[in-house]
Structure 1
Amino acid sequence: MPRIVDHDQRRRELAATVWALVREHGVEGVNLRLITEHSGWSSGAIRHYLPHREAILAFAAQHMAERVGARLLNLPRTGDPLSDFLKLVREVLPLDDERRAEAQVWLAFVALSLSDPGLADTQGVAYQALNETFRQIFEAFSTLGWPAQHPPEAAAREVQALIDGLTIHLLLEQITPGDAWATLETRIRQLIQAPAV
């Protein structure tokens, strides 16, 4: 009887290997030989899923975006819109080891995407998806009658830019996770003047 192969699981394993190599060697250091050594797979098995280096990197970037997106979608809701939004934003900021690893890989891909149109497209899709999520949330706040400092589009851009900046400061260890979170939470509370309870 032929062995049943879980292709999605194999792709997740490959993505995890590529992320680890990006963190250790940078994007430019990722190659088929290293992936073979670190994954324990043959080069033929890897090529079955990902035929060339560009496909490997694009897949790893896309898989990371999907992983973060799925985590955000599965956050439990409390029913308090502001509390739920703060919880969602906290998941994006690299405040722990798992999110720090994701942020390191993300930043490496951002740098490479400046010269690689395929990766630039992947990064653009991830950026737009998060921006649209934030925009919809700010729009929902306005329908609740909560006054806002800016239109939803501008507020979404500001929060996303603040997250990106704080992420870089955290990766460079120029700010503590506590200070980064306090900065972001304070600004979000300023942008959304929720009624006092």
Structure 2
Amino acid sequence: MPRIVDHEERRRELATSVWSIIRTDGIEAVTIRALAERSGWSSGAVRHYLPTREAILEFAAGQVAAEARRFIESRPVTGDAVQDFRTALLATLPLTADTRAYLETWLAFVGAAVTGQGPAQKALLYDDLHSFLVETLTGFAADGRLATGSVGAVAISLHALLDGLAVHLLLHQITGREAEDAVDRWLAGSLVVPDPVREPAS
């Protein structure tokens, strides 16, 4: 019986190897040959899935976004909208070994995009998180829980905060606790937390 090949799983394996090259040697070191050596595949097998260097980089950036989304969605849900939003925001920061791996790769792609070397990756690395923030904040605004500003403006400020905290954590300039405190201050100043429902006095 012929062996069933999980092509998506094989592509994920390749993405992990690309991330490894980027994290250890830099984005400029990514080539088909380097990926073949790092993954243990033949160059022909790599080309079957990712035929060019540009395809490798675009796929690896897309996988960063996909894995980050998967990690966020895997966080436990309590039913408390603010608490669940907090959990999701913290999941975007390099506070675990997995998220540090994603974000070290993300930072390399950001540097390449800034210098014009990776324009195809810009939307992949920005749009996913921004759309999530806008969607969630729109829900809070509809419930009257957004303290101030338009959804768009608040999403931009929050996205900038998360990006800044991520870089500071990757550079070991702040601790995880300090990053969590910064997120909590933002939530306290930007969202209206309703008073608990109290039973009428007898």
Q: TM-score, normalised by structure 1?
A: 0.92
1:120 aligns with 2:119: yes
Superposed CA offset, 1:6-52 (max 9, x none): 10110010000000111000100122222222211111100100111
Distance in 2 (alpha carbons) for counterparts of 1:196 and 1:179: 27
Structure 1: gaps (5+ residues)? none
Q: Which moved more, 1:137-146 or 1:84-93?
A: 137-146
Q: Structure 1 residues 125 and 34, CA, compared in 2 at 3 Å: closer, same or farther?
A: closer
Q: Which moved more, 1:182-191 or 1:42-51?
A: 182-191
Percentage identity across aligned positions? 41
SS at match of 1:196: coil
Q: In the alignment, which residue of structure 2 is the partner of 1:141? A: 140
Distance in 2 (alpha carbons) for counterparts of 1:18 and 1:121: 16
SS at match of 1:193: coil
Q: CA deviation at 1:171?
A: 1.0
Distance in 1 (alpha carbons) for counterparts of 2:189 and 2:142: 17
Q: In the alignment, which residue of structure 1 is the partner of 2:106? A: 106
Q: In the alignment, which residue of structure 2 is the partner of 1:189? A: 188
Distance in 2 (alpha carbons) for counterparts of 1:89 and 1:154: 17
**Could you tell me whether the CA contact under 8 Å between 1:110 and 1:120 is conserved in 2?**
no
Distance in 1 (alpha carbons) for counterparts of 2:24 and 2:83: 36
Q: CA deviation at 1:147?
A: 4.5
Structure 2: gaps (5+ residues)? 197-202
**Could you tell me whether the CA contact under 8 Å between 1:17 and 1:39 is conserved in 2?**
yes
Q: CA deviation at 1:138?
A: 1.4
Q: Structure 1 residues 26 and 101, CA, compared in 2 at 3 Å: closer, same or farther?
A: same
Distance in 2 (alpha carbons) for counterparts of 1:107 and 1:177: 18
Amino acid across the alignment from 1:172: L
Superposed CA offset, 1:105-129 (max 9, x none): 001011112313xx42432244122
RMSD (Å) for aligned C-alpha atoms: 1.5
Q: In the alignment, which residue of structure 2 is the partner of 1:163? A: 162
Give runs of aligned pairs for residues 19-58 of structure 1, distance below 5 A.
19-58=19-58
Q: CA deviation at 1:3?
A: 2.2
**Could you tell me whether the CA contact under 8 Å between 1:104 and 1:171 is conserved in 2?**
yes
